[in-house]
Amino acid sequence: MSIDLEQFHQVFFEESLENLDVVEQALVEVDVDSDIDSEVINTIFRAAHSIKGGSGTFGFTEVTEFTHLMETLLDEVRDGVRPLTQELVDALLKSCDCLRHWFDCLQAKQDLSDEQSKPLVVIFENMLNKNSALASTEVNVSKTTAGTDHVPLHHWQITFIPHSEILLSGNEPIRLFRQLEQMGEYKVIADISGVEDIDQLTVDECFISWNIELVTTTGKEDIVEIFEWVIDECTLTITDNIPTVEANNVPEIGREMIAEKSGAIVEEAKKPKTKIEIAQKTKTIAASSAASSIRVGIDKVDNLINLVGELVITQSMLSELGNNFDMSKIERLSSGLDQLLQNTKELQENVMRIRMLPISFAFNRFPRMIRDLSVKIGKKVDLQINGEHTELDKTVMEKIGDPLVHLVRNAIDHGIESVEERVAANKPEMGVIKLDAYHQGGNIVIEIVDDGKGIDANIIGQKAIEKGIVDDVSKLSDGQIYDLIFEPGFSTAAEISDISGRGVGMDVVRRNITSLGGRIDIESEVGKGSIFRVHLPLTLAILDGQLVRVGSEVFIIPLISIVESLQIKAELVNKVSGNMILYRLREDNVPIIPIYKEFNIEADNTELDSALLVVVEGDGRKVGLLVDDLLAQQQVVIKSLESNYKRIEGISGATILGDGSVALILDILGLITQTTPKKSHSNRSMKAA
């Protein structure tokens, strides 16, 4: 039976990306100038070998050949015959980039380009062609034993007896034979003595075994590696008809090396590095990049099963009460409904936990990025990560990655000084960037902290005036001036580089964060450093909202957007040109948006002196929403209007309330953008009329 292996492709891609994370993180942490832990090298080797083996199984030849070069070099490092140099580390890191690009192409069913791989193949082959200590010793061993200068030829006899269920795991023997064919001359003889009578055969079982003759210069360990993926699903024997080197006939160093190599082979035969072992090791080093599936811990699944059991019990109790119900059972009914409410709430929380992933999925890209950038611009930077186990919704995680990258790049480029500048300022040569994540209320806070030169409010203010973003900054606080960084087109960079000034400014960063229902604020001190603090909701599926009433309609305002709610005082209301109405809120002049006018509905109050104002903030701007009444606060499940109806300006979604009615969720950023002037910061310096 032919099995469609394409159904396993996505799992292979996800596991391969995990293994690339393992390789990358381990290489970034390696210090080539000091002793390197052998287990780190083994881990890198296993990850590369796993990618090679999987790509060979699925017929991705380019990936197999490329990773084979990586694996060969790593094997020499693992055996101690090749040093792990900075040149090799750099090439291996570039290989990770190349393989990531290839996996993207394979997932999109596109052809693979050798633009990235070609120069790397040249580097790897040049390294392999150089005489290493191991190659030199093996040649000497060969000369001593055989009296010739060539590598000895092996005549391997391989007996491969697969277990009957091998086909169920997607392993087809023909793929193994194709890899053996590349090693030299070979002959395969099928043994069909185990084939059952035709009426006893089943299409998903294997009854054939094979005897294989292979003439090659390849060693036994390479043959074992081909069968490594099926080693638990077969009986395998490998013998050499012509003995190669006897340990007693070689110099002392040769005996030690052969013994070491032979020991490795025996150990592999006894305890192969299976997929499970590799997966367990990768968990201790790196987390996966975002993918289309989520791995859920068994504890979360067990909790769900227990909660469903509780729901079934509660449902049975309520069903029994429904039979011949009378008022004497009202107390039991009330208790049952309370229990149902509790069970439902716990079930909701546990289901949401399934989508939660540790923030390390987003943080793990930064060690490599900071390493590359610091080398490129000649700065010394130490990255410190805290709170990497803090969990965040998978959807939020996927969308916050790019804004975080931009903020970290800015911290390196604009924040951390050069070595000379830091020494002159009596600072350590190495700058520090800290990434931290923690929960605060119902949100998650991510901090990007640097100990660089800080943000000079005077320079920011002057640059904003020059660019026409504001007319006057004398009335603005430092925090308001820092907010000017997020205005479109703002930059203090003296020249455009590939680190900053790349056409994606801080305005895009804030827009992306705001689109997630979050916000960003800045703290800074000149000469000491800066803190960029990102506040995000834990999930995009459920919203903490404030219910408000306008006429007969109920709207929901995200709690994270609300600054305060107040009764309007007529003396603080001012009208300016363009029919704009402003409310003087301490140091700010806040534009008032009448919700009833925006959505053309009848309101109870149209006079400002008798209405309520809900002050909200988005994209660094504040507005006041005019409403008739404040109702309850509650969590609501967000339903998309675009997928169920169509897009409506000023509305981000809808939800169904407890009474079955539909309430619309206000799009705060959308309302601010379409109803207030773009240069809102100039309003802050206006005096009340």
Domain boundary among 481, 512, 537: 537
The pLDDT of residue 284: 36
Q: Say if residues 293 and 14 touch (Cβ distance below 8 Å).
A: yes
Q: What is the largest CA-CA distance in the chain?
A: 106
Segment (H or E) for 358: strand 356-358
d(CA 308, CA 659): 25
Residue 664, helix vs strand vs coil: strand
- Residue 414 has what DSSP assignment? I
Q: What is the mean pLDDT of residues 588-609?
A: 86
Among 335, 354, 373, where does a domain finish?
354
- The residue among 294, 349, 339 whose CA lies nearest residue 637 is 349
pLDDT score recorded for residue 493:
58
User: What pLDDT, on a 0 to 100 scale, did the predictor assign at position 39?
Assistant: 85
What's the rounded Cα separation, in Å, for the pair 434 and 447?
8
What is the model's pLDDT at position 28?
Answer: 87
**258 and 123 in a common domain:** yes
Report the domain count for the chain: 5
227, pLDDT greater than 50 = yes
Encode 8-19: b = buried (16+ Cβ within 10 Å), e = exposed: ebeebbbbbbbb
Active site residue 49: yes
Q: How far is it, in rounded angstroms, from Cα 615 to Cα 599?
A: 18
Q: What local confidence, expressed as pLDDT, does residue 252 receive?
A: 34
pLDDT at 273: 34
In this prediction, residue 245 carries a pLDDT of 39
Tell me: do 548 and 531 sit in the same domain: no
Q: Is 681 considered catalytic here?
A: no
Q: How far is it, in rounded angstroms, from Cα 674 to Cα 651?
A: 12
**Pairing relation of β-strands 588-594 and 621-627?**
parallel
Query: Which of the given ranges, 34-48, 262-276, 495-509, 674-688, has the highest pLDDT on average?
Result: 34-48
Supply 569's token pair.
Answer: 């005082």
Contacts of 80 (CB under 8 A, 6+ apart): none
The mean pLDDT value for 467-485 works out to 82
As a whole-number percent, the residues of the chain with pLDDT over 70 amount to: 82
d(CA 263, CA 257): 10
What mean pLDDT is predicted for residues 390-419?
88
The reported pLDDT for the residue numbered 4 is 64
Contact 162, 234 (CB under 8 A): yes
Burial of 632 (0-12, 13-18, 19+ CB in 10 A): exposed
Q: Encode pLDDT of 66-83 as tens digits.
A: 998 898 888 888 888 888
Q: What single string gives the DSSP state of each residue in 133-200? A: HHHHHHHHHHHHHHSSSSPPPEEEEEEEEE-TTGGGGT--HHHHHHHHHTTSEEEEEEE-TTPPPGGG
Reply yes or no on whether 138 is catalytic. no
Kindly give the pairing relationship between strand 553-558 and strand 662-666.
Answer: parallel
Question: How does pLDDT run across 286-309, given as a tens digit for each residue?
Answer: 333 334 567 777 888 888 888 888
Of the pLDDT bands very low, low, confident and very high (cuts 50, 70, 90), residue 428 is: very high
What is the pLDDT of the chain when averaged over all its residues? Answer: 78
Quote the pLDDT of residue 261: 34
Residues 97 and 159 in one domain: no
- CATH number of the domain within which 7 lies: 1.20.120.160
Residues 509 and 558 in one domain: no
Q: Can you name the residues that pair with 555 across neighbouring β-strands?
A: 548, 664
pLDDT 10s digits, 634-647: 888 888 777 667 77
Q: What is the pLDDT at residue 657?
A: 85
Q: CA-CA distances (angstroms) from residue 42 to 94, 278, 451?
A: 19, 10, 36
Rounded CA-CA distance 99/71 in Å is 14
Given 49, 414, 535, 681, the catalytic residue: 49
| Domain encompassing residue 72 | 1-149+252-264+272-292
Q: Same domain, yes or no, for 553 and 462?
A: no
Nearest residue to 550 via CA among 598, 616, 602, 610: 602
Does residue 495 carry a pLDDT above 60? no
pLDDT at residue number 491: 67
398 with 512: CB under 8 angstroms? no
45 versus 258: which is more confidently predicted? 45
Relative orientation angle of helices 252-270 and 133-146, to the nearest 10 degrees? 100
Co-location of 625 and 661 in the same domain: yes
Per-residue pLDDT, 437: 92
Cβ–Cβ < 8 Å for 518, 619: no
Predicted local confidence at residue 242, as pLDDT: 55
Q: Pull the structure tokens for residue 267.
A: 């150990």
Say yes or no to pLDDT of 124 above 80.
Answer: yes
The helix or strand, by DSSP H or E, that contains position 613, with its residue range, turns out to be strand 612-618
pLDDT at 253 over 50: no
Q: What are the CA-CA distances from residue 64 to residues 68, 125, 227, 286, 642 (Å)?
A: 6, 15, 15, 23, 44
What SS3 class is residue 412? helix
**Can you name the residues that pair with 354 across neighbouring β-strands?**
none
pLDDT of residue 616 exceeding 60: yes
Give the CATH number for residue 207: 3.30.70.60
Considering the domain architecture, whether residues 370 and 487 belong to the same structural domain is answered as yes
The pLDDT tens digits of the residues spanning 540-577 come to: 777 788 999 998 899 999 888 888 999 888 888 888 77
Q: What is the mean pLDDT of residues 519-543?
A: 86
pLDDT given for residue 531 in this prediction: 93
Does this model's pTM top 0.85? My answer is no
Tokens of 565: 């709610």
Are residues 133 and 188 both part of a single domain? Answer: no
144 Cβ contact partners less than 8 Å away, ≥ 6 residues apart: 249, 250, 251, 254
Is the pLDDT at 175 greater than 50? The verdict is: yes
Amino acid at 522: I
Task: Give the gyration radius of the chain's Cα atoms.
Answer: 33
More confident residue, 449 or 682: 449
Answer yes or no: do 557 and 665 share one domain: yes
The domain spanning residue 418 has which CATH number?
3.30.565.10
Cα distance between residue 654 and residue 638, in whole Å: 6
Q: Are residues 136 and 183 in the same domain?
A: no
Catalytic pick from 410, 443, 605, 683? Answer: 410
- Whether residues 514 and 369 share a domain: the answer is yes
- Is the model's pLDDT at 408 over the cut of 50? yes
Q: Taking 50 as the threshold, does the pLDDT of residue 429 lie above it?
A: yes
Which domain-ending residue is among 336, 354, 372?
Answer: 354
How far apart CA 491 and CA 493 sit, in angstroms, is: 6
Q: Which residues contact 541 (CB under 8 A, 6 or more apart)?
A: 352, 355, 393, 395, 637, 638
270, pLDDT greater than 70: no
Please compute the mean of the pLDDT values over residues 425-453 and round it to a whole number.
89
**Average pLDDT value for residue range 368-381:** 87
Cβ-defined contacts of 366-369 (< 8 Å, 24+)? 366/404, 366/405, 366/408, 366/435, 367/25, 367/28, 367/29, 368/24, 368/25, 368/28, 368/93, 369/405, 369/408, 369/409
What pLDDT is recorded for position 398? Answer: 81
> Residue 81: what pLDDT?
84
Distance CA 99, CA 97 (A): 6
Which pLDDT value is given to residue 543? 79
The tens digit of pLDDT for each residue in 16-42 reads 888 898 898 888 888 888 888 888 888
> Are 388 and 532 found together in one domain?
yes
Q: Please provide the size of the chain in residues.
A: 689
Question: Residue 480's Cα: distance from chain center in Å?
Answer: 33
Please write the tens of the pLDDT for every residue from 182-194. Answer: 788 888 888 888 8
C-alpha 570/C-alpha 584 separation (Å) is 10
Least confident window among 111-125, 138-152, 216-230, 236-250: 138-152
Summarize the confidence of residues 213-217 as an average pLDDT.
87
| DSSP state letters, 43-59 | HHHHHHHHHHHHHHHTT
* DSSP SS3 for 308: helix
**SS3 state of residue 272:** coil
Question: Which is the catalytic residue, given 15, 71, 172, 487?
Answer: 71
